[in-house]
Amino acid sequence: MLKSHSCGELRKEHTGQVVTLAGWVHRRRDHGGLIFIDLRDREGIVQVVFNPEVSKTAHELANDLRNEYVIKATGEVAQRPPGTENRKLPSGEIEVIASDLEILNTSKTPPFYINEDVEVDENLCLKYRYLHLRRPRMKDNILLRHRVEKFMRDFLDAKGFVEIETPILFKSTPEGARDYLVPSRIHPGKFYALPQSPQQLKQLLMVAGFEKYYQIARCFRDEDSRADRQPEFTQLDLEMSFVDEEDILKLLEELFTSLVETVKPEMRLVKPFPRFSYAESMERYGTDKPDIRFGLEIRDLSAIVASSEFAVFRAAIQGSGKVKGICLPGCAGYSHKQLEELTELARANGAKGLITLALPLGGYTSLEQLTLDKVKSVAAKYLTIEQVKEMVRKFEAKPGDLMLIVAGEPKMVDKVLDELRREMGRRLNLIDLNLLAFVFVVGYPLLEWNDEAGLWEPMHHPFTSPCEEDIPLLDTDPSKVRARHYDIVCNGYELSSGSIRIHTRQLQEKIFHLLGYSSEEIEERFGHLLEALDFGAPPHGGIAPGIDRVVMLLAGGENIREVIAFPKNQGAIDVMSGAPSSVSEAQLDELHLKLKDEGIIQT
């Protein structure tokens, strides 16, 4: 090793030792007679002092140092002179008095700051990703990711799980997300698909008898990116035999609780993890991935306004619609412009409009004294005071609160209010950023009716087992069948869906048929799986939490690109390498491929 110690590890206990350090020049402070260098390596930063009285040659050479030069410096660790300690630095009590300096490599001036955490155009960061990763915050994110994955491995190993790799070149199963395809050279016209997840393979490992499997698995889905989604991502994929829902949920709760306590002890958890039924989550939060770090819960006002004169409400309720709302504390004073902004947000999410009711701040001490003329709302003249009071009671609203009401199709109403709720939770600073609010969502329906396609679709995936007692309903009323399916959600992000799987051929075939597959399709796509179920498949189930999102939440980020070493941008491009890129005609030939539009062969 070129170094005896790392920069970040030095403390006053090292005082008196002669150490050799190697790292990057983080910052240079040249006082003419005296030069201070903040030397940075993976472990942190330490101050190195160049004093001509200690070494004239080292001091002279230090004159040439610039940011990001790579250097090796030898010197004695010394306690800093009293009054010059730097409490902002863990190594701030000491410094290294350099007696020798070697420049291992020079550096061009970086295209953006490495020693300051100012936001820079993301494409530039991605182009010079290796420089961006030098930033302490980015470096810490990647190290955090390492600790998370290490913890998961250790935890599951201790629980008797076996880590097993599964193929990246696998078979296309065209339902679900779009596949990434890999053309076969040996088999003209045939393709592998990159796995959207190792779902089938892990089930087959259960049939194989491994009982407890896990893998930190890369998954590939060719769909448009989002802040929390990119084409390739990582899951902690796990599967267990001879378990029920309770076993999986208990394992997850223990895993995440001890993970947070180990790698991020300063963050708080809600324990035990609350459980919501799908119906309850939709009812109270308008979504199946609720952020429960704050209130502003949705309330159903349909019953209250059922007999309303107000055409907007009446029309909604007489159709198959709902009237629901949320209540914003202390927002009654919102200006016309602010209300218009909220209405715009509602419209952007599909609402025709937004009804607002502002409760006066003063003028009534008990609800009895509230009169209609004091309530500020375009709907006031169509409502009775009793209806308004009922709403106030339903929201437990206080004087000065603002009620936001949306009417229409239930799906739209939920979506709009979910959006408004999360936006206002942020704006009103109701969110505790140090809190990780994990929740389990259970009791999902097995199937969802797709009106456009005119067939049943699985809510999760076609391998999810229905609840035993609901199996007869598959023939009579499929919408009523509950799934043995659970989700884990944290701070409004879905970390994973999981389920107890179907483990008999008969039931699996029945589900495939219900989903509209012909016998031939079933055989072609899932024949290998069905055959496996015939050979003594054990009852089994599992889940696969998304590691990128977990690390993002632990890092306090809002974007998974901050916790992936080499991410792709929104257009699925690796800005650093330029992938995807053109290939030569020879390569295409070998793969028996021909581009449809010869023009696009040019770069």
Half-sphere exposure (Cβ direction) of 337: Cα atoms closer than 13 Å: 0
User: Considering beta carbons, is residue 49 or 77 the nearer one to RNA?
Assistant: 49
CB of 391 to RNA, least distance (A): 28
Q: Quick one: which segment of 172-180, 326-334, 474-482, 519-527 binds RNA (CB under 7 A)?
A: 172-180
472 Cβ contact partners less than 8 Å away, ≥ 6 residues apart: none
Residues 33, 443: Cα–Cα separation, whole Å: 72
DSSP 8: G
Of 80, 275, 376, 389, the residue at the interface with RNA (CB under 7 A) is 80
DSSP secondary structure string, 451-519?
TTTTEEEESS-TTBPBPGGGTTHHHH-GGGPBBSEEEEEETTEEEEEEEEBP-SHHHHHHHHHHTT--H
CB of 457 to RNA, least distance (A): 5
Of 95, 239, 288, 487, the residue at the interface with RNA (CB under 7 A) is 95
**Segment 529-588, which members bind RNA (CB under 7 A)?**
559, 561, 569-571, 573
CB of 198 to RNA, least distance (A): 8
In DSSP terms, 324 is beta-bridged to 300, 406
Q: Does 36 bind RNA (CB under 7 A)?
A: yes
Q: Does 479 bind RNA (CB under 7 A)?
A: no
Q: Tell me how crowded residue 334 is: count the other CB atoms within 10 A of its CB.
A: 17
Q: Quick one: which segment of 135-143, 219-227, 263-271, 581-589 binds RNA (CB under 7 A)?
A: 219-227
Task: Give the contact letters, 418-457, x = binds to RNA (CB under 7 A), - = no.
Answer: ---------------------------------------x
Reading phi first (left if > 0) and then psi (alpha if -120 to 50, else beta), residue 392 is in alpha
User: Considering beta carbons, is residue 115 or 257 the nearer one to RNA?
Assistant: 115
Q: Quick one: which segment of 110-118, 261-269, 391-399, 480-488 binds RNA (CB under 7 A)?
A: 110-118
Q: Does 212 bind RNA (CB under 7 A)?
A: no
CA angle 111, 113, 34 (to 5 degrees): 115
CB of 503 to RNA, least distance (A): 17
Local structure of 148: helix, strand or coil: helix
Q: Quick one: which segment of 31-39, 264-272, 471-479, 592-600 binds RNA (CB under 7 A)?
A: 31-39
Size of interface with RNA, in residues (CB under 7 A):
66
User: Considering beta carbons, is residue 257 or 570 the nearer one to RNA?
Assistant: 570
Q: Quick one: which segment of 84-92, 144-152, 367-375, 397-405 binds RNA (CB under 7 A)?
A: 84-92
Residues 260-265: contacts with CB under 8 Å, at least 24 apart: 260/436, 260/554, 262/147, 262/151, 263/144, 263/147, 263/148, 263/151, 263/554, 264/144, 264/554
Q: Does 92 bind RNA (CB under 7 A)?
A: yes
The Cα-based distances of 218 to 166, 281, 513, 544, 545 in angstroms read: 10, 30, 30, 11, 12
User: Considering beta carbons, is residue 33 or 538 the nearer one to RNA?
Assistant: 33
**Segment 40-79, which members bind RNA (CB under 7 A)?**
47, 49, 51-53, 66-67
What stretches of 265-363 adopt beta strand conformation (E)?
Answer: 268-269, 275-277, 299-300, 322-328, 355-358
Q: Burial level of 424, CB count in 10 A (0-12/13-18/19+)? A: buried
Q: Does 109 bind RNA (CB under 7 A)?
A: yes
Of 461, 470, 504, 510, the residue at the interface with RNA (CB under 7 A) is 461
Torsion, Cα of 237, 241, 244, 247 (10° steps): -60
Q: Does 374 bind RNA (CB under 7 A)?
A: no
Q: Does 30 bind RNA (CB under 7 A)?
A: yes
For the record, the structure tokens of 386 come out as: 């009793």
Local structure of 214: helix, strand or coil: strand
Positions in the binding site for RNA (CB under 7 A): 27, 29-34, 36, 38, 47, 49, 51-53, 66-67, 80-81, 83-86, 88-89, 92, 95, 109, 111-113, 116, 118-124, 173, 175-178, 196-197, 199, 221, 223-229, 348, 457-458, 460-462, 559, 561, 569-571, 573
